């Protein structure tokens, strides 16, 4: 029984190696550089998509404005043509009246040309908005491709780490099954408190957990205790394994 107990303490150190490996893998999982890059790309994509939506909206507004000017110009031209039709229909013979009708036609056409000029301005504005829409659209497409590439890299890296963690966990479970539950509880509590080490090898008078020395009398006492006697480091509190 006593011999088994000293083997047990070595197994506890092996189990701790698994725990440390699992911690490292978790840390690697949490700090995958591709995930940070993916977040950056997604943030930029969101901003570009918003700019794209805003620009499309402004472009649509310009199209509506263009159409409105075009409709108004068209209706002014119809009116002018209608007045001209009357002028040349022979219905009106008074020179004074014909002069007034001509003035109407001129005024309607002036107004129409004014609207057409404004329509041209809007068209120019809309054309430069079209260029911007195309630019944001292209950029959004690039970012989407980049995000999808990064997302699959992240997934692959995560899956790889998950698999390693599963392997470490299985190995840990095998070790945990042969360890005394009280010792394991004690180790887990101490490891949680020390944030990393629950057990450490005693080399000479140095605890390999905190790398501080314990009194040599104490080190000697631990080394000459019956195998499996559980002792703790006064400095970091971890279980000392001679």
Can you give the binding site for Zn ion, defined by CB under 5 A?
A: 207, 209-210, 233, 235-236
User: Phi-psi category of 230—alpha, beta or left, where left has phi over 0 and alpha has psi -120 to 50?
Assistant: beta
Among 133, 125, 119, 123, residue whose Cα is nearest residue 70? 119
Q: Which is nearer to Zn ion, 160 or 234 (CB)?
A: 234
- Burial status of residue 184 (CB atoms within 10 A of its CB: 0-12, 13-18, 19 or more): middle
Q: Which is nearer to Zn ion, 143 or 236 (CB)?
A: 236
**Closest separation between CB of residue 41 and Zn ion, Å?**
45
What is the torsional sign of CA 101, 103, 108, 112?
Answer: positive
**Closest separation between CB of residue 240 and Zn ion, Å?**
7
Q: Which is nearer to Zn ion, 72 or 218 (CB)?
A: 218
**Closest separation between CB of residue 28 and Zn ion, Å?**
26
Among 110, 7, 126, 17, residue whose Cα is nearest residue 64? 126
**Closest separation between CB of residue 168 and Zn ion, Å?**
24
**Closest separation between CB of residue 172 and Zn ion, Å?**
22
Q: Which is nearer to Zn ion, 112 or 190 (CB)?
A: 190
Q: Which is nearer to Zn ion, 105 or 198 (CB)?
A: 198
Q: Which is nearer to Zn ion, 52 or 233 (CB)?
A: 233
Report the alpha-carbon distance of residue 42 to residue 147 in Å, rounded.
Answer: 7
**Closest separation between CB of residue 230 and Zn ion, Å?**
14
């Amino acid at each position: 029984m006593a011999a088994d107990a000293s083997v047990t303490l070595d197994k506890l150190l092996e189990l701790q190696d698994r725990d440390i490996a699992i911690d490292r893998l978790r840390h690697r999982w949490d700090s995958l550089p591709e995930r940070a890059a993916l977040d950056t790309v997604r943030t930029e994509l969101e901003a570009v998509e918003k700019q794209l939506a805003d620009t499309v909206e402004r472009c649509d507004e310009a199209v509506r404005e263009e159409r409105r000017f075009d409709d108004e110009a068209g209706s002014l031209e119809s009116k002018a043509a209608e007045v001209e039709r009357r002028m040349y229909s022979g219905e009106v013979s008074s020179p004074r009246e014909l002069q007034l009708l001509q003035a109407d036609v001129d005024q309607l056409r002036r107004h129409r040309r004014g609207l057409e000029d404004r329509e041209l301005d809007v068209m120019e504005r809309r054309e430069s908005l079209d260029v911007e829409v195309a630019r944001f659209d292209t950029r959004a497409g690039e970012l989407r491709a980049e995000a999808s590439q990064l997302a699959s890299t992240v997934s692959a890296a995560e899956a790889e780490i998950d698999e390693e963690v599963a392997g470490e966990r299985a190995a840990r479970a095998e070790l945990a099954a042969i360890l005394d539950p009280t010792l394991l509880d004690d180790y887990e509590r101490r490891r949680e408190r020390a944030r990393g080490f629950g057990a450490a090898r005693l080399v000479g008078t140095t605890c390999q957990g905190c790398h501080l020395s314990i009194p040599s009398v104490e080190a000697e006492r631990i080394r000459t205790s019956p195998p499996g006697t559980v002792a703790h480091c006064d400095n970091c509190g971890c279980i000392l394994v001679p």
